Chains A and B, each alone.
Chain A
Amino acid sequence: MPAPTTHDPVIRVDHLRKTYGRTVAVADVSLTVGRGEIVGVLGRNGAGKTTTVEMIAGLRERDGGTVSVLGLDPERDGAALRERVGLQLQESALPARITVREAVEEYACFYDHPLDPDDLLRDLGLLDKAGTRYAALSGGQKQRLSIALALVGDPEIAILDELTTGLDPQARRDTWDVVEAVRRRGVTIVLVTHFMEEAEHLCDRVVLVDAGRVVAQGTPAEVAAQVGAEQTLTFRPSIPLDAHVLRVLGSVSAVEDAGADVRVRGTGNVVQDVMVALADAGVRPHDLRVHRSTLEDAFVRLTGVGPEADAPATTPSEV
C-alpha cells in the first residue's frame, strides 16, 4: 500500500523488513510521519509494531527497505539521531534507588540542549515526587517519569511504546493529557499501542499493522470507514411501524425486526433521514441507540482478531 504524502515528513519508511531466522517479524512496512503529527502504530501483540519502531530508532538493524528520520539513516547516523529523537520503551526501567530528580537531571546532561528538569517535572505533575525513589513510584508515575526522560533532551520526535499498558483508567487519561501537552510543544509523536480508544483519542493518523504488514492507514475515522461507513440505529417504536416507511429512504440499506426493537442500517445522513420519517409517521423512537463503526471494528475486521487478544509470535507470512 503506498504511503500517503504528508507535508514535510520527518520520518519516511519504505518497504521495511526484518526476519529472525525463519520468522518474519516485519514483512513490508511503509509509512510517513509529518512534522507535528501524532501517528499511531497499531496492531495486536506480536504484529511487528515494536520491531518497526526499534528500527526507526536505530536500535535494531533492518534486513531490507529504507528508513529516513529527520533526513538521516538511523543505522548510520545513530549518534546524531539519539540527540534529536526521544524514546520511551517497553521493558526498560531505572535503578531502584535513584530519585526522580536525580534521574531527570542525569539524563538532561546527556544532551546538548536539554529542557529545564524542574519545568519538565512540573509539566508532568512529578514535582512533588522529585525526591521519591524510582521503586516507590506508582505505575502511572513511572510512566510519566519515563516520558520525562524521553523529552528531557528536547527532541523533535518522541517515540512512545505501549505508553499506557498496565495503567488504570484514570492514570491512562492523565497520560493522554501529557501526550497532548507534548504535541503542543511541537514535538512529533509516534505512538505504539494496541488500545484502539487511545489511538482514536490521540492520533491524527494511524497505521494498522498485522503480521508485519501495513493493512490500513489514514485518520482514525478513515480507517474505521474502510470496513464500511455503515451506521446502525436501534430503537423501540412507540406504535407499530410499517418498515416500508423507512425502506424507501435512499440512505437506508436494511430494516430488521429485532424482537420489540427495530434495527435500521444505512449510510450518509441515515440518522437524520430516519428521524424525519419517523416524525412524519407519528412514531416516537424509544431507547434510541446509534452505533457508528469504530477503529476497533476496523481492527477486528482487518486483523481477524480482537486487539486485546494475546497473540503468539507472528506467523511467517512469507518465508
Chain B
Amino acid sequence: MAATSARTLTRVTVVEGKLALRDPANVFFALLFPPLLLTVLGLAMPWGSQPYSEDDPLLGTINGITGYTPIVLALAVATVALSLYPTTIATYRGQGVLRRLSTTPLPPSRLLVAQILVNLGALLGAALLTLVLGVLVVEVQAPAQPLVVLLAFVLTAAAMFGLGSLIAARAPSAGAATGVGMTLYFVSLFFAGVWLPLPVMPDVVQQIAVWTPLGAGSQAMLDGWVGADLPVQELLVMAGWAVVLVPLSARLFRWR
C-alpha cells in the first residue's frame, strides 16, 4: 500500500516542513527565539558571568548563563510542543484539512508523525543554535555529563510532545489550541524557571515543579550539566508523562 510506505511519510513530512518554513512567525519562535534569548541575556546581564549560586558548591562551579542554558532548552521544547505543533493540527481540523485527508488512504497517524518530525527538526535546530551561540558568544560551559543532559532533553521532548498531542487530538480550532496551549506554556515555563531559576524558588514551588514535565526536564538537564547525582526522580516523572499522554492522545484523536 502506497499510503503506508516510508516514501509517503517522507513526502508528507517534506510538505509539512515547507509549509512551516513559509510562516515567518514559526521560523522565529521555533528556531531563532531560544538562541537569541540566551545570547542577549548572556551579553546584557551582569549575572551571566558570575557563579550561578554562591551557596551550592555544585551550582557555584558554573556561571549564571550556563545555569540558564537548561531553562532556555526547556523553553525551546515547550515552544514547539505546546504552541506550533498543536496549533497547526488544530488549524487543520478547524479548516477541514483533516476531514479532507480522512477520505484518502493515508492513515491519520502519518500526518501526526510528520508534524512531530518537522517540529522535532525545528527543536534540534534551535537547540544546536542555542548551544553553538552560547558556547561561542556568551561563555556557556560544557556540561559535566553530556549523556545525562541528552537523555533529559530527549525525555523532556517526549513528555512535552505528549502534552501537545493531547491538545492536538481534540482542540476544535486554532483559537482553542492557542488558548489551552499558551496557558500550559506559561505555567510550564514558570515551573521550568524561566522567570526565576528553580534553585532560588520557594521549596514548595520546587516540590511541585519536579512533578511537571518541563520543571522536571529543566532540573534534570541542570543536574547533568553540573554533574550532580543522576536525577532519577525527574527522569521517571518525564517518562511517566510520556507513557500516559502519547497513547491517550492517540485514543482521543478526532478528524473533525
Contact = CB atoms under 8 A, between A and B. Distances in A.
Interface of A: 57, 59, 79, 82-83, 86-87, 89, 91-98, 102, 105-107, 109-112, 114, 149, 153
Given A92-B100, A93-B97, 13 more contacts: A83-B1, A86-B103, A89-B96, A89-B100, A92-B103, A94-B100, A97-B23, A98-B19, A106-B11, A106-B12, A109-B2, A111-B3, A111-B104
B22 interface: yes
Closest 10 pairs between A and B when the two form their complex, measured CB to CB: A92-B96, A92-B100, A87-B103, A97-B22, A93-B95, A82-B105, A110-B106, A93-B96, A110-B104, A92-B99
A153 B100 contact: no
A92 B2 contact: no
A114 B106 CA distance: 14
A61 B2 CA distance: 26
A82 B1 CA distance: 12
A59 B103 contact: yes
A152 to B, nearest CB: 9
A109 B1 CA distance: 10
Interface residues of B, number: 24
Interface string B146-164: 0000000000000000000
Contacts of B22: 97
Contacts of B18: 102
Given A97-B23, A102-B15, A110 B100 contact: no
A98 B15 contact: yes
Interface in B142-192: none
A98 B91 CA distance: 14
B105 A83 contact: yes
Interface of B: 1-3, 7-8, 11-12, 15, 18-19, 22-23, 91-92, 95-97, 99-100, 102-106
Contacts of B99: 89, 91-92
A37 B106 CA distance: 28
A52 to B, nearest CB: 16
Given A95-B92, A97-B23, A106 B97 contact: no
B11 A109 contact: yes
Contacts of B19: 95, 97-98
Contacts of B106: 110
Contacts, number: 67
12 contacts: A57-B103, A59-B103, A93-B95, A96-B95, A102-B15, A106-B11, A107-B104, A109-B7, A110-B105, A114-B2, A153-B104, A153-B105
Contact of B104 (A82, A91, A94, A105): A82
A59 B104 CA distance: 11
A87 B105 CA distance: 11
Nearest to A82: B105
B97 A95 contact: yes
Contacts of B92: 95
A179 to B, nearest CB: 18
Given A98-B19, A102-B15, A106-B12, A111 B100 contact: no
A139 to B, nearest CB: 15
Contacts of B8: 109-110
B174 to A, nearest CB: 11
B92 to A, nearest CB: 7
A140 to B, nearest CB: 18
A247 B92 CA distance: 66
B103 A89 contact: yes
B13 to A, nearest CB: 11
Contact of A111 (B7, B102, B105): B105
Contacts of A97: 19, 22-23
B51 to A, nearest CB: 47
A153 B22 CA distance: 28
A95 B3 CA distance: 20
A195 to B, nearest CB: 22
A105 B18 CA distance: 14
A67 B225 CA distance: 62
A160 to B, nearest CB: 12
Contacts of B7: 109
Nearest to A146: B100
A100 to B, nearest CB: 13
B61 to A, nearest CB: 47
A111 B96 contact: no
Contacts of B97: 92-95
A62 to B, nearest CB: 17
A79 B99 CA distance: 15
B211 to A, nearest CB: 37
Contacts of B95: 93, 95-96
B102 A59 contact: yes
Contacts of A91: 96, 99
A92 B98 CA distance: 8
Nearest to B20: A97
A172 to B, nearest CB: 21
A83 B95 CA distance: 24
A124 to B, nearest CB: 17
Given A95-B92, A98-B19, A102-B15, A112 B1 contact: yes
A299 B212 CA distance: 62
Contact of B100 (A83, A102, A109, A149): A149
